[in-house]
Amino acid sequence: MLPLTGLIAGIVIGLFIPWNIPQQFSCYAAVAIMAALDSAFTGIKDITQNKFSPGIFIFKFTGNLLIAGALVYLGDRLGLQLYLAAVFAFGYRIFTEFAIIAGFLLNKKRKKDNI
């Protein structure tokens, strides 16, 4: 119930409080969002496989953010768009983990229908 309350509160705050990300930080925000989504999908996948550990989840989440942020920062300093590497990597991982989650849910439904 608490996660649902947090989700609803986040949506309401996002809709009613205007907030813009400055142009110079847009790459950092994009990579941070992708890292958060990657961590969320990894957590969901781990839950479906009974491998979830809160400590490991927080460590992976923090590590993803730090490495991706460092990559964007390094790219800014070198004048390269290195953030695209992080976006592609996180995008690939998100779709891969979504496929695993979808396969788990479909197999679970098939087993339920066959019983």
Residue 105 lies in a domain: yes
Res. 115: pLDDT tops 70: no
Q: Tell me the residue range of the domain where 44 lies.
A: 22-114
Give the chain's domain count. 1
43, 57 contact by CB (below 8 A): yes
Residue 37 lies in a domain: yes
Helices (H), 1-115: 2-16, 26-48, 54-78, 83-114
When pLDDT is cut at 50, 70 and 90, the band that residue 73 belongs to is very high
Q: What mean pLDDT, rounded, does the chain reach?
A: 88
Kindly report the pTM of this predicted structure: 0.78
Res. 37: pLDDT tops 80: yes
Residue 64 lies in a domain: yes
Residue 17 lies in a domain: no
Residue 6 lies in a domain: no
Q: What is the mean pLDDT of residues 46-69?
A: 90
DSSP states along 85-115: HHHHHHHHHHHHHHHHHHHHHHHHHHHHHH-
Residue 1 lies in a domain: no
Q: How far apart are CA 14 and CA 27, in angstroms?
A: 20
**Which tokens sit at 96?**
């891969």
